[in-house]
Structures are given as structure tokens and as C-alpha cells.
Amino acid sequence: MSLFKVALPVLAVAGSAYAASCSNSATTTIQNGGDATAIAACTTYSGSVAVATGVTDDISFDGNLKTIDGDLVIEANSGIQRFGSSSLESISGKLTLNDVSQLAALSFPQLTEVDELTLKGLPNLRSLEFTKGITKADKLDIENTKLQDLAGIDLEEVSSIFIANNDDINSIEMKVTNITEFITLSFNNAEVNVSFPNLESANNISFRAIGSLSIPSLSKINSGSFGVFESDNLASLSAPNLTKIDGALVIDNNKGLKNVSFASLTDVGANLQIANNTNLHEIDGLPKLKNVQAALDMSGNFSKVETPSLDFVKGVFNLQSTGDIGTICTDFYDPLKSKGRLQKGKYVCEGKLDEASTAGSTPKSGSSSGDDKTGAAVGLAVPSISLGLVGLVAVLFL
């Protein structure tokens, strides 16, 4: 059934610019609903299709059309309110809707596969009609929409996911097992529930302003980093099966965070930083952490810090707390330093401070649980993903 209540005008075959062929080496530009109907007479259309910016008709590719061997694109259009196809099953190229300000209905009930899916600048789009469900896409990019959920997008295969600035989205859940490039979720609904139950490996993971997170199967971050930022509604962060991160692990500025658990994590290939998490009072969720190949930087209001398996930190070691961390410095970290397992001259370990700061800042007052403040002026770059994932890759070893 078509998504449109009003039947679109049908071009007679003899009058259509595209009726004589189901292929075009150049991009075919849709000027009205009739042009779309003509293309829909084909079972497979070979070539890319773009909708003209001035089109105000609802556009439907209802008919015989099952495959577009090319791209399907609408950009900078302020007139179209409804767009879709009741028969289309696959698009070998891109499905792009960008800056389509009046679009309120997007219906592709049979579509299961695209190369790239981009939905951007759609302030009136609240739901998706992908009934059968899109399970295959190489890239997914969803930004600045009014979508309430991603029902109908349940990817099994994908290289990158970027979902940002969708204020109303309540949940993000997919059954993907491997993400070969990156996943970035940034400033959607601050209470958004994020779940990737089958995800086993990824290259870069960056979450900013999320409400909850479930990644029970994640075991490895390949060649990239894992960061969680500015998630004030996130109470608990857990990755129970994650054993290795090739890049950095950064947990920064999550004011509601009370618990961090990486029960199986043994190796971090760059910086490990836990900072500015106001309600995180105990760091005891890293029982197997053994090696940190750049800086280990922990600052906050901690009353308990335990990393019982830690054996080596290549870069700066900084532990600063406004709370009483007891004798952990003299009992555990100082001996590691003496053995050369923490690099000499780059070591701060103190509790009961007036102010706890990240590496590079001199501890302010308080009583030291350690005995060496040398290296307090050495800076640690705090990875930032405000412009993407690039910042997480950069590390300071000094």
C-alpha cells in the first residue's frame, strides 16, 4: 500500500522522459511525481536519481521497482512532505535525505539494504516506515531530526555509525556484531537508552550525553579508542567482556556516574583517564588491568582506588583525590614506582586535596599519601571528541 493518501499523477509511457530506458549513465533528476512513477515501472533502475530542489509533489516510486543500482538523493528541498516506495528492496549506493525541511513521512516498507543511509536536517520527521527493516548498510549518519526512535534500522553489517543532535530519540539499539570504523553517538536525548547486545568488536567508540549503555558482548577495541563524555544521566558504565583497548580509554565529565566496571580489561594501548565524574567515589572496577601504554590519569573525589593487577604504566601516573584514599599510594603505587614499573619523574599520588586535577596540574594542599611530586608540571592532553574521534587517538607519553 502506498504511503500517500492522494494518488500521484501517472505519466503515460509515451510521454515519460525515462520510459524508454531503465538506465542512465548520468544522474536522473526528478522534477515531479510523474517522473518518479515512470522510473517505478522498471524492476531495476541502473543509475543515480536525484530530486530537484524545487519539487513540491509528494514523491513515490510505487510500482515494479525493486532495485536502484546507484544513489537516491534529496537535498535542500523545502516542499516535499512525503517520500518513499512500497516496492523498493535495495539501493546499491546512497540513500540521502539532507535538509528536507517539510518531510514528515519516509516510507520504504520493503527496503533492507543500502550502501550509505544519511538522514540529516529533517526537523519534521518523527518516525521511520522501514517495515521490513534495513539490516545492511556500510555507513549510517543521522543528524538533526525529530525521530523518536530508530525502529526499522537494525543493522547487522556496518562500518560506521554517526548519530547526533536528535533531541527526541529515546532508544538506539542494533544487533551489529562488528563495527570496522567507528561509532559516535553525540548529544541526542540526554536520557537515550543505548544497547548493542551483540557487538563484539569496534575500532572507535565515542558516546556523549547518553542515559544508559549496554554492551555485554564487546571484547576488543581494535586500533582505536573508547570514550564516554558529558553523560549526566548515566549512573553505571560496564563492559564486562572487554579485554583490550588498542587506543585510549577516557571517562570524563559524567556528573551522574556512580559505578565504572571493566571486569576483564587487561591492556590499554594509550591514555587511561578518569576525570571530572562528580559522583564517582570508588575506582574498583579494573581488577585485571595490567598495562597502560601511555598515561594513567585519575582525578576526583575518590575514597577508594584499587587496581590490584597493575604492573606497568609507560607515561604519566597521576592520582589526585579530594577524598581520603588511605594508604594505597604507600602500599601499592609507590612500590611500583620504586621498581620502575611507573616511569620515574612523572608521578603524583595524593589524597585529601583541596582540589584534585588532571595530570599537569600541581596538587593543591592536602596531605600526600605518596612521597614524590616530581613531574607535576608535565601535561597530559585530555582527548576531546567535540569534533569527532580524532582527539582520542592522540596521546602523550611524556
**pLDDT digits 0-9 by tens, 69-120:** 999 999 999 999 999 999 999 999 999 999 999 999 999 999 999 999 999 9
Q: What is the pLDDT of residue 383?
A: 40
What would you report as the CA-atom Rg of the chain, rounded to the nearest whole angstrom? Answer: 26
The answer to whether the beta carbons of residues 207 and 179 sit under 8 Å apart is no
The answer to whether the beta carbons of residues 195 and 173 sit under 8 Å apart is yes
Query: What grid cell was written down for 74?
Result: 534529496
Q: What is the pLDDT of residues 248-275, one digit of tens each?
A: 999 999 999 999 999 999 999 999 999 9
Q: Please say if the pLDDT value at position 379 is more than 60.
A: no
| Mean pLDDT on 187-213 | 97
The answer to whether the beta carbons of residues 328 and 336 sit under 8 Å apart is no
Q: What is the pLDDT of residue 366?
A: 57
Q: What is the pLDDT of residues 127-182, one digit of tens each?
A: 999 999 999 999 999 999 999 999 999 998 899 999 999 999 999 999 999 999 99
| 42-80: b (≥16 Cβ within 10 Å) or e | beebebbbbbeeebebbbbbbbebbbbebbbbbeebebb
Binned at pLDDT 50, 70 and 90, residue 4 comes out as very low
> Is pLDDT larger for residue 322 or for residue 7?
322
Query: What grid cell was written down for 184?
Result: 559516535
> Which of 3-17, 190-204, 216-230, 288-302 is predicted least confidently?
3-17
Q: What is the pLDDT of residue 380?
A: 40
The count of other CB atoms within 10 Å of the CB of residue 266 is 17
Q: Please say if the pLDDT value at position 287 is more than 70.
A: yes
Mean pLDDT, the chain, integer: 89
Task: For 339, list phi and psi in degrees, rounded to 5.
Answer: -85, 0
The answer to whether the beta carbons of residues 99 and 120 sit under 8 Å apart is yes
Query: What grid cell was written down for 145?
Result: 531530526
| Mean pLDDT on 322-342 | 96
| Mean pLDDT on 281-306 | 97
Q: Please say if the pLDDT value at position 49 is more than 90.
A: yes
Q: Please say if the pLDDT value at position 392 is more than 60.
A: no
> Is pLDDT larger for residue 173 or for residue 17?
173
Q: Please say if the pLDDT value at position 32 is more than 80.
A: yes
d(CA 32, CA 153): 28
Q: What is the pLDDT of residue 343?
A: 78
Q: Please say if the pLDDT value at position 370 is more than 80.
A: no
> Rounded to whole angstroms, what are the CA distances from 388 to 171, 177, 186, 202, 235?
21, 22, 9, 16, 24
SS (H, E, C) 246-273: CCCEEEECCCCCCEEECCCCCEECCCEE
Q: Please say if the pLDDT value at position 36 is more than 60.
A: yes
> Rounded to whole angstroms, what are the CA distances from 239 to 53, 242, 262?
46, 6, 5
Which amino acid appears at position 126 of this protein? R
Q: What is the pLDDT of residue 18?
A: 43
